[in-house]
Structure formats: C-alpha cells, structure tokens
Amino acid sequence: MIPAPFDYVAAGSAAEAIDLLARHGDDAKVLAGGHSLLPMMKLRLAAPAVLVDIARAAGLAGISVDGDELVIGATTRHADLVSSALVRADAPLLAHAASLVGDPQIRHRGTIGGSLAHADPAADLPMALVALGGSVELAGQAGTRRVRADDFFAGFFETALADGELLTAVRVPRRPGVPWGYQKFVRRANDWAIVGAAAIDGRIALANMGPVPLRARAAEQALAAGASAAEAAELAADGTSPGEDIHADGEFRQHLARVLTRRALEHLS
C-alpha cells in the first residue's frame, strides 16, 4: 500500500516546525516516528498534503529532571523510555507501559509525543500519562502552554492540540519507590489493550473503556475513603459506557475493568 502523494519537509527545530504548520495549516501533519500516521496514510485514512518531519528537530528528544518532574521530549522513542535509568527510577510505570507498546521494531520508531497526540484510547501511553497525572507542553505561534493529561484527551482520537500547535514535551511527576500496578488485557502479542488499568498513588486510569483514557473516579474515591482494593475495584466501571467490537462487548469490558483494576491495585510493583 502506498500513501497518497505529499510534500516532505524536515524541520530543524520546534520553532521551524511551528512556522511550517502555520504556513500549511490543515494541509500539514507532523511526522515523528510515523508509526501511527504512516499506517493511516497507507490505508488512505489520512492524506495530508505536507508532512513536517520533526524526528531530527533539535531539542525535541531526551529526558531530563526539572524539580519534581521528569521532562521528556516529544520525539523520545518508546525504546528510550524503556532503557532510561531516569524513567525506570522516577516513573517506572511509564517505562513499563512503553515496554508493552507494539514490538521491538515499533518501539525503535514510535515516540511518546506521537502516541499521545494520536490519542488512541486503547493505547498504553495515554493511559499511563493519565494515571501518572502528567501533562504535555503545547507550543504554537502564541507561545507555549501546559495541559494536564486529564484535559488533553478531548475525544476519540482527539486532543486539546489547537491548529498549528506542536506537542513538544511531556511532564511526569517523579515518584521513585512509589508502588504502582499495570494491567493490560490482550489476546495477541503486540496488540492494543482490549481493556487496560493503571494505578499509582490513589489514581486509577483505564484504557479502551471510552473515547478517551478514563479515570476510575468512583474507585479512586472509595480508595481514598479507606476501601480495600477489592471493594474499590468493584466500582472501576461505574459511569463508563465502553463500546463493542470484535474483541469484546461493553458488558465484558466493564467486567474486565473491574478485574484488571483489582489486579492493578493488588499486584503492585
């Protein structure tokens, strides 16, 4: 399968990418690893006229510490998250989530910024960022703003990214030594979650239980009020109305959300 024709521009910096996005408007899409975008272009589900490649833009990759947060450049690849001593120490839930994305070849190409901007509700990193209470930095011609993960995912494959904005970095609270749980239910290797659950520090996030990665707020509130993991997990699917597909109907997804949340809360790393 061959994508529809497009023009390719490699941006040397975030500022150059933002200029290019402003110039080309809706015709342009940002390319990093391309492991969400290129498959869609090959299937002609997307046919942007211009690709702005940020993979080699200066300053967009890398992991650093800023006070009590990790700052992760948007073009940092899944494989880099998995192998980073900083991420493994300060946000091991994120390193683990990244290790479950696709397969080794995909992790060598896919980036954290790309996965978050793609906003697949079944994907690992969006759920992980919601569980961690992280945020993203969005840069545009008007400047840079920070958006919390809870507010970033706006709908099915939709985000708070405005026209012409570029996701430049991801911020994650540092929590060395804080127990966390991560559960992903799949039937095949290297697949997306049929349902996923991630828990840390009283926060619980769910994958593929709705159009965006969700907080299991009823379960979180029960935990905060002193409920056991099993009691809280019974509430994990409250308020959700997950969709039906070839893998599972809504009722089964709600069952999975309860079971996986209990496991995430009980099997802590």
Partner 1 sequence: MQVKLTVNGERRSDDVEPRLLLVHYLREVCGLRAANIGCDTTSCGACTVLLDGESVKSCTVLAAQASGRDVVTAEGLAPDGELHPVQQAFRAEHGLQCGFCTPGMVMAAVGLLRENPSPTEQQVREGLEGNLCRCTGYHNIVRAVLAAAEGSGGRPPWPAPRASQPTARPR
Question: Rule CB under 8 A: which residues touch partner 1?
Answer: 1-8, 10, 31, 34-35, 38-39, 41-42, 51, 53, 55-56, 58, 61-62, 79, 102-106, 108-109, 189-190
β-bridge mates for residue 77, sequence order: 111
Shortest distance in whole angstroms from residue 165 CB to partner 1: 22
C-alpha dist (Å) from residue 133 to 85, 153, 198, 203: 21, 13, 11, 8
Cβ closer to partner 1: 4 or 22? 4
Cβ closer to partner 1: 47 or 162? 47
Shortest distance in whole angstroms from residue 213 CB to partner 1: 22
137-171 CB burial, b ≥16 within 10 A, e <16: bbbbeeeeeebebbebbeeeeebbbeebbbbbbbb
Cβ closer to partner 1: 4 or 142? 4
> Would you tell me how many other CB atoms lie within 10 Å of the CB of residue 136?
26
Closest CA to 108 of 136, 71, 64, 76: 76
What is the C-alpha to C-alpha distance for residues 76 and 256, in angstroms, rounded to an integer?
Answer: 31
Shortest distance in whole angstroms from residue 21 CB to partner 1: 17
Cβ closer to partner 1: 1 or 246? 1
Cβ closer to partner 1: 54 or 172? 54
Shortest distance in whole angstroms from residue 101 CB to partner 1: 11
Contacts of 43 (CB under 8 A, 6+ apart): 1
Shortest distance in whole angstroms from residue 44 CB to partner 1: 12
Please report where in the chains the tokens 């090959």 appear, as a residue. Answer: 42
What is the C-alpha to C-alpha distance for residues 143 and 59, in angstroms, rounded to an integer?
Answer: 16
